[in-house]
């Protein structure tokens, strides 16, 4: 069987870490990409290795083209040609209204959440596409329920970036469908991760969970399970699709 080699951006925490661990338990060789927290990424790698899996941690800022290229080159050297990509890395900044945001914040947000997703996908396509002799592959983008709700009064910029990711998912899925690459998206709702702390409200899920029909927040592992299904051969006829992991909201 061909080796399964997965890159998870932002893989040292939250949904990314849960995805990396689950993938490692299912036979993937996993690259855990991280921005700053090397210890967290190495902890994920060690857990995968302790369970008999294969994993490496690679630092890189997905908003920088040179870092993205280096990330993929490192994976090729150490693990082999990637067959799967999860675009999970995302930026969130302090909750505020649009009329309090400056251009620097908007540029940082779009650079990490949109341009980063597109750059990583570009490098994946350059290696996976049947057009260039690749063996095909699967890409899963991590969006957010914010793309639908808009996050007014908190972070409309973040919501807008996730809306862009969703549009990109549809376009790329159709662009590479004949080239052996499937592109799908998960749309998490209110999930218990430390991303909320970056917005200034670590316990945000507790405040908003009453809006969820299931009356609870979600776990990163529940999102990871949906991601792994989309990556798998069980989803072989699924592309350009979205899975809401949101408790019914």
Could you read off the pLDDT tens digit of each residue along the chain, which spans 249 residues?
679 999 999 999 999 999 999 999 999 999 999 999 999 999 999 999 999 999 999 999 999 999 999 999 999 999 999 999 999 999 999 999 999 999 999 999 999 999 999 999 999 999 999 999 999 999 999 999 999 999 999 999 999 999 999 999 999 999 999 999 999 999 999 998 877 777 777 888 888 888 898 999 999 999 999 999 999 999 999 999 999 999 998
Residue 108 to residue 190: CA distance in whole angstroms: 23
Active-site entry in 28, 34, 155, 158? 158
CATH of the domain at 43: 3.40.50.720
Burial degree of 65 (CB within 10 A; 0-12, 13-18, 19+): middle
Domain tally, the chain: 1
Q: What is the residue range of 57's domain?
A: 4-245
Residue 49 to residue 42: CA distance in whole angstroms: 10
Residue 181 to residue 81: CA distance in whole angstroms: 14
Catalytic annotation present for 28: no
């Amino acid at each position: 069987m061909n080796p399964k080699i997965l890159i998870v951006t932002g893989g040292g925490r939250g949904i990314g870490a849960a995805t990396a661990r689950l993938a490692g338990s299912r036979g993937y060789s996993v690259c855990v990409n991280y921005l700053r927290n090397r210890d967290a990424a190495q902890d994920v790698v060690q857990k995968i290795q302790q369970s008999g899996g294969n994993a490496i941690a690679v630092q890189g800022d997905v908003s920088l083209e040179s870092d993205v290229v280096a990330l993929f080159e490192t994976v090729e050297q150490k693990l082999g040609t990637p067959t799967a990509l999860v675009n999970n890395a995302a930026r969130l900044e302090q909750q505020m209204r649009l009329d309090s945001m400056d251009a620097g914040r908007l540029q940082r947000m779009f650079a990490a959440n949109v341009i980063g997703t597109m750059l990583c996908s570009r490098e994946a396509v350059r290696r996976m596409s049947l057009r260039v002799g690749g063996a095909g592959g699967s890409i899963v983008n991590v969006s957010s329920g914010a793309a639908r709700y808009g996050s007014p009064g908190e972070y409309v910029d973040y919501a807008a970036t996730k809306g862009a990711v969703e549009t990109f998912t549809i376009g790329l899925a159709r662009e590479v469908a004949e080239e052996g690459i499937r592109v799908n998206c998960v749309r998490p709702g209110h999930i218990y991760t430390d991303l909320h702390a970056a917005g200034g409200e670590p316990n945000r899920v507790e405040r908003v969970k009453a809006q969820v029909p299931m009356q609870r927040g979600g776990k990163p592992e529940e999102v990871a399970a949906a991601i792994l299904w989309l990556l798998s051969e069980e989803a072989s006829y699924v592309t350009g699709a979205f899975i809401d992991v949101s408790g019914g909201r």
